[in-house]
Amino acid sequence: MKIIYLLFILGLFTSCIEIWDDLTLNNDGSGTLRYKINLSESKVKVNSILALDSLDGKPVPSKAQISAKINEFVRILDAQVGISNVLVEENYTDFIFKFSCDFSSIRNLQDGIKLSIAQLSNEKLTTAADQFWLSWDGNTLVRSIPSYITQQIKNYKLEDAEQLKEGVYTSIARFERPVASFENKLGTLSKNQMAVMVRTNTFELKENQHLLDNTIVLTPR
């Protein structure tokens, strides 16, 4: 996820970034997580950033180093309990990155990602990283962005924050039965009533890291 954060920061500098997180949740708690970062509209600027030795005082990795870290993360995550079919598509021409994995339960998903981050960074989990950002009781889904990512976004300094208004973050939750209600005022219910989409620009998300938080209640089975 640190690699995903790096790609996100590259997007902040380039202003044009599209991020999608797409969660499909089955009635039994299993499902699929998909994540996509699209920097294609800013690929010239991204290439110029990757040509630098450092960014915001930190070393800028090469494309090969980024790819190696991504592949290592995939290998580690795929070995976690309850996680399968971990796939990553890397496009370094248009800078579009897609991630997906299947999970047996919400707990398996969160534990798998957290343990993979810890192994990849060779660090103990911080208090923030140890928090849960998803919960599911069979009828209600409560979701947010992981706090270790939102804190980085909040603390990030940008000379011209207005450019973030061109970026878009879209969060989607899909289910096997209709949605009865949801709390996020930015949410939109699909025509079949079995998916909720929340969308905001990255400037607003930086100002308020809870904009994508949502509590979704499904109709009884």
Q: Where are the beta strands (DSSP E) in 65-185?
A: 83-91, 96-103, 134-136, 140-143, 168-175, 179-182
pLDDT at 127: 46
102-152 residue pLDDT tens:
999 999 999 998 888 888 776 555 544 456 789 999 999 999 877 666 666
3-state secondary structure 20-71: EEEEEECCCCCEEEEEEEECHHHHHHHHHHHCCCEECCEECCCHHHHHHHHH
42 neighbors 194 (Cβ within 8 angstroms): no
Mean pLDDT of 89-93: 93
pLDDT at 41: 82
Cα 147 to Cα 42, 90, 126, 150, distances in angstroms: 27, 26, 11, 5
Specify the higher pLDDT residue, 55 or 161: 55
Calpha distance 9→171 (Å, rounded):
18
Identify the H or E element spanning 200.
strand 195-201
Spans of all domains in the chain: 2-218
Of 39, 36, 37, the C-alpha closest to 48 is 39
- Threshold 0.85, pTM exceeds: yes
Percent pLDDT > 90 in the chain is 47
